[in-house]
Amino acid sequence: MMGQLRVGMIGYAFMGAAHSQAWRTVNHAFDLPLSARRSVVCGRDEARVAAAAVTLGWESHATDWREVVSRDDIDLVDICTPGDTHAEIALAALAAGKHVLCEKPLANSVAEAREMAEAAATAQARGVRTMCGFNYRRVPAVALMRRLVAQGRIGTVRHIRAVYLQDWIVDPEFPLVWRLRRDMAGSGALGDIGAHIVDLTQYVTGARITGVSALTETFVRERPLPAEAAGLSGVGRAESGEVTVDDAALFLARLEGGAIATYEATRFATGRKNGLRVELNGSLGSVAFDFERMNELEFYDATVPSTEQGFTRILVTEPDHPYMAAWWPAGHPIGYEHSFTHEVRDLIAAIAAGEDPTPSFADALQVQLVLDAVERSAASSAWVPVEAELASV
């Protein structure tokens, strides 16, 4: 009989729904030695988490994450909560001998991330596995991008351009949700979406960012509080609160091996909904990925005769493309939710094999060090080196 991996998930909103879909479908799509069991979902509001358990397909619900972490019938804790809770939950779960999947960014500070990475390294000796949820690594086109770079198809990487553009807080009347508060989110666009392109570019190139020069901006500095936060039960304008994170972050960077890069993360790019794009230019060619066309890669091969050169559209749906053999016939695209399914597929496979999954907490700490360097650079208007950490990209 197939063994079980009994999962307790903390948090049930946007990321909780995405993770629930992954846990629900992974064994239907992939042949794995362990079967994911959605044992319990946890949230602070009894009525809401009970409803979420039914909607998302969890066997039970709880309102205290400590109860979930301490249960003997839970093998893995999946953390889908705001960043200010990541460290406490993960540290408790690791101390209890549970495997941990934690959403990105790993923590709200370098100090928290380092403590989590050290705890993960200690737990590793007991066979406990950890992973940070940078799901864009698991998009098949991104995995193919990494493969092409590793094979030397674009030669030496020289230029990197990475942007992540959204517009969901352009309206100044949009409320002061937790993502706009430093005490809960750690940073704004930088940590929320900038972390993704930092991890993604380091992943596909296999090289770490070594230094940055940055600026950040907050365009709307006060926003109405959500109705519940202002104590309002009916219709009416809430009190205002201060936005304490960045709305946009831009920075230049150098990577190991000599590549130079530009990064832009903003939630004020009017008209852009989830515009993640990465382009690499190398000595022998170029490759580009655009998440709004997530089943495609653009590839330019400068080694063929000039009469044949031009950007080629690769439709990443063939069964020999990364992950795609589990899904539909060639030419049939997949979607955003599949990246999470691939994420938990790789996590389950690593746990079953007694191996360490990636990205590890050490990898996520390295991303946190980049984010920290960006903030320090923006504050000082100076070039800031990124502190070195031992981690596998």
| 206 and 231 assigned to the same domain | yes
| 152 and 70 assigned to the same domain | no
| 148 and 160 assigned to the same domain | yes
Strand 76-79 and strand 99-103: pairing?
A: parallel
Amino acid identity of 1? M
Residue ending a domain, choose from 88, 120, 136: 136
Per-residue model confidence (pLDDT) at position 193: 98
Per-residue model confidence (pLDDT) at position 391: 45
pTM: 0.95
| 34 and 180 assigned to the same domain | no
Q: How many helices (H) and strands (E) does the chain have?
A: 11, 17
Question: How far is 93 from 109, CA to CA, in rounded Å?
Answer: 19
Per-residue model confidence (pLDDT) at position 227: 78
pLDDT digits (tens, 9 = 90+) for 277-321: 999 999 999 999 999 999 999 999 999 999 999 999 999 999 999
Per-residue model confidence (pLDDT) at position 392: 43
CATH of the domain at 29: 3.40.50.720
Per-residue model confidence (pLDDT) at position 389: 64
Give the residue ranges of the chain where pLDDT is below 50. 1, 232-236, 390-393
| 325 and 208 assigned to the same domain | yes
| 146 and 213 assigned to the same domain | yes
Instruction: Output DSSP code: residue 139.
Output: S
pLDDT digits (tens, 9 = 90+) for 18-41: 999 999 999 999 999 999 999 999
Per-residue model confidence (pLDDT) at position 228: 66
Pick from 22, 84, 28: which is nearest to 336 by CA?
Answer: 22
Residue ending a domain, choose from 109, 136, 163: 136
| 27 and 156 assigned to the same domain | no
Domain that holds residue 96: 3-136
| 128 and 144 assigned to the same domain | no
Per-residue model confidence (pLDDT) at position 229: 61
